[in-house]
A and B are shown apart, each in its own frame.
Chain A
């Protein structure tokens, strides 16, 4: 018992220090209207507890339904990729592009389709959830020694036997880890869905509080959303441990790829795959709109977007408007993305040099990773103003915590033998860091960097939409409100394309660098 107490002590201390800092910050910023300390937040919460809890329950319900649907889709996709390996790259490509659809635009369109109901919240929660679960399952369903599968086959069982007896159980730790990341994401998706004009829910209260400049209330809602997300994260971690699932060594890792026969063959294969992917996505897009019988007024088809951007008399002007807004967003998002990654990895490195501090920070970083930062966007904009600083801060904070948690976790997994080797030479902490711990951190860092690409664009566009009134996020909100759906769909295409390309770029860098530094950590 004292052992457990001692282990928890650094975390408790760190949490207490953070709370004290928060309160101190309030005292320091007295007179600034946008800041509330823990005491004021607690008071606001207690005053409006029934209202807040009721709203949270509504949001939670949408999130839970979307979570279940998203994970079912993820399981189906992973099973397809496993059963037909030739389809895996195509399925992953489609899954990525759909994951990269900007909520700020899909939200309002879903709102038009569904009206005032829960539909958009549920769909966005599912969209926010399925991709991480899919990636985790893809690795988990294969993460086993070949002999386990041989064992099943040596009794004449086929793929189904493999799946039932070995793969499903071997994937369990990966699945629970994926669900752990997905649960807070689902809550975030549901809240963003509510931002688009729901009648009830925590997202609605949040917008109302921000518009009414009710600062304590805005903070109380953000804190409640954070608490629920952290609780969901903790719950799935606990469930995972209950079913005996050890946390897997590395989540969301890059896959090793078969070497093509030659460079030219590799390039040719990539081009063919991209062409196929584009064709499938266009077909899906067209087919979905067509078979759901959605009105072409708001449900634009591929040909409408191409006409709007390339064939119309006003095409050049349309393109100029779109691209100006896009560059405005990108010029803030890219630096913020880099800053978030740098600070996350940097703090992880500093903490590792102070191991006791790191032990206390890891659980807090993990808990804060699950906080839906976007839901605090209204606050940060209140605090930092509508200029570039606000957007950059939101994006950087959105990326900072997942990166910090991933990097700390990665460095914690530096092989014991490697550390012993460095100790046996009495190597300095700096040497140990550069030659052992940072290389051990790289796979986790890149996994975080990759997943941070869509997250960064989501954060930037949401901030622009809710607050700053600049960039493509604001353009999307504006065009949605004046029913300029051709522009809205063009923005969706552009953003999904940009996010997918940036993701692919980070993925390419990741494989390049990991082949050199940590080839053994690439998943099979």
Chain B
């Protein structure tokens, strides 16, 4: 039974979504026109070659970029409306913790930005859940890369968003740490049934933590593979990983981008 302030996770719909950037007077496509629907409460991994525009897609959904054409619809609302009531949270590759704030203050910052009451017990509970209770009053400079991402995730979750947008949150940490983070953290938001979009360059991560994997071509991003009903057994996962690898390789062939 969800609490009243935790809204139902939204469905996310992209219609004819397109983004081009201007660079030196030339238009460069980042996202080709895309039609996509992300089901409520599902975790979807977005995989593709680096620089293909998958992060741009995520930023379009978050309202951090404005589309050149097309629309994003989050549970019937445009992104800007959703951000104003803290209906979504965005996790960044560099964790984006403010260095002059402690872990506790960084988590509290989300509540302040969302213009909500500071709830000490909720903050403490989340810091505990991500495993940082010993470091609540530590500043980010004294934390390891993995610990910073834990703090960032706590900050994302403290506003109880219906939509979570993760832009390679574990992209900058080592393989072992990444595995530990993936073992601990996704359960936190999946238990709440948050709609989640995860941009990652790790096929293994995509297959392990999500319900659905979408594969993109090199820039401008087009959908070249869409895998649902992911296998839960190890053999099935390995087979799927191989298939995704092949899809990626085929999409990249003929493109000058390595």
Select which of A152, A156, A259 is within 8 A of B24 by beta carbon. A259
- From B44-52, B90-98, B196-204, the one touching the partner chain is B90-98
CA distance A154 to B82 in the complex (A): 9
Collect the chain A residues with CB atoms within 8 Å of residue B24's CB: 259, 261
Q: How far is the CA of A154 from the CA of B25 in the complex (A)?
A: 29
Q: Verify if B32 is at the interface (C-beta below 8 Å from A).
A: no
A-side contacts of B59, CB under 8 Å: 150
Q: How far is the CA of A172 from the CA of B80 in the complex (A)?
A: 30
In the bound complex, what is the Cα–Cα distance between A93 and B93 (angstroms)? 38
- The smallest beta-carbon distance between A112 and chain B, in angstroms, is 48
Let me know if A161 is at the binding interface, CB within 8 A: yes
Residue pair A157, B113 in contact (C-beta under 8 Å): yes
| Chain B residue contacts of A153, Cβ below 8 A | 63-64, 83
Chain A residues closer than 8 Å to B63, beta-carbon distance: 153-154
Closest to B113 in A: A155
Residues of B within 8 A of A155 (CB): 83, 86, 110, 113-114, 159
- Rounded to whole angstroms, the CA-CA distance of A154 and B79 in the bound complex is 9
Nearest residue, chain A, Cβ from B80? A156
Nearest chain A CB to B195's CB is how many angstroms away?
15
Q: Give chain B residues whose Cβ lies under 8 Å from the Cβ of A152.
A: 113
Report the number of A-B residue pairs with Cβ-Cβ less than 8 Å. 54
- Complex Cα spacing A134 to B88, Å: 37
CA distance in complex: A451, B80 (Å): 44
**With A161-B113, A165-B109 in contact, do A151 and B96 touch (Cβ < 8 Å)?**
yes
Query: A238 in the interface, Cβ–Cβ < 8 Å?
Result: no
Determine whether the beta carbon of B98 is less than 8 Å from that of A154: no
Inside 8 A of B110's CB, which chain A residues have their CB? 155
1/0 per residue, CB under 8 A from A, across B60-75: the answer is 0011100000000000
Per-position 1/0 for B132-152, Cβ under 8 A of A:
000000000000000000000
Interface size on B, residues (CB 8 A): 27
Closest to B82 in A: A156
CB-CB under 8 A from A147, the residues of chain B are: 92-94, 96
Closest chain B residue to A153, Cβ basis: B64
CB distance A154 to B94 under 8 Å? no
A166 near B98 with CB under 8 A, answer yes
Chain B residues with Cβ below 8 Å from A157 are: 113
Indicate if the CB atoms of A156 and B62 lie closer than 8 Å: no
Compute how far the CA of A169 lies from the CA of B59 in the bound complex, rounded to whole angstroms: 25
B229 to chain A, nearest CB (A): 31
Partner of B96, one of A150, A161, A169: A150
The residue of chain B having its C-beta at the shortest distance from the C-beta of A173 within the complex is: B100
Note all chain A residues with C-beta closer than 8 A to B94.
145, 147
Cβ–Cβ contact B89 & A169, under 8 A: no
A508 close to B (CB within 8 Å): no
- The reply to whether B92 and A150 contact each other, CB–CB distance below 8 Å, is yes
Determine whether B37 belongs to the interface, using a CB cutoff of 8 Å to chain A.
Answer: no
Q: Which of A436-485 contact B (CB under 8 A)?
A: none
Q: Which residues of chain B come closer than 8 Å to A150, judged between CB atoms?
A: 59, 64, 90, 92, 96
CB distance from A171 to the nearest CB of B (A): 11
CB distance from A168 to the nearest CB of B (A): 11
**In-complex Cβ contact of B86 among A145, A156, A169 (8 A):** A156
Bound-state CA distance A261–B26 (Å) is: 10
Q: For the complex, is B125 an interface residue (Cβ under 8 Å from A)?
A: no
Q: Does A244 contact B (CB under 8 A)?
A: yes
Assembly CA distance A161 to B98 (angstroms): 14
User: With an 8 A cutoff between CB atoms, is B85 at the interface?
Assistant: yes
In the complex, how many angstroms separate the beta carbon of B49 from the nearest chain A beta carbon? 22
Q: What's the Cα separation between A80 and B113 when bound, in Å?
A: 24
Contact of A156 among B25, B84, B92, B100 (CB under 8 A): B84
Interface string of A128-162 (1 = CB under 8 A from B): 00000000000000000101101111111100010
Q: Can you pick out 19 interface pairs between chain A and chain B where the beta carbons lie within 8 Å of each other?
A: A145-B94, A145-B96, A147-B92, A147-B93, A150-B90, A150-B96, A151-B96, A153-B63, A153-B83, A154-B63, A154-B90, A155-B83, A155-B113, A156-B86, A157-B113, A165-B109, A169-B98, A259-B24, A261-B24
Beyond A147-B93, A156-B86, 16 additional pairs, beta carbon < 8 A: A147-B92, A150-B59, A150-B92, A151-B92, A151-B96, A151-B113, A153-B83, A154-B89, A155-B83, A155-B113, A156-B80, A156-B84, A165-B109, A169-B98, A244-B100, A259-B24
Q: Using CB atoms and an 8 Å cutoff, list the residues of chain B in contact with chain A.
A: 24-25, 59, 62-64, 80, 83-86, 88-90, 92-94, 96, 98, 100, 109-110, 112-114, 159, 165
B-contacting residues of A (Cβ < 8 Å)? 145, 147-148, 150-157, 161, 165-166, 169, 172, 244, 259, 261
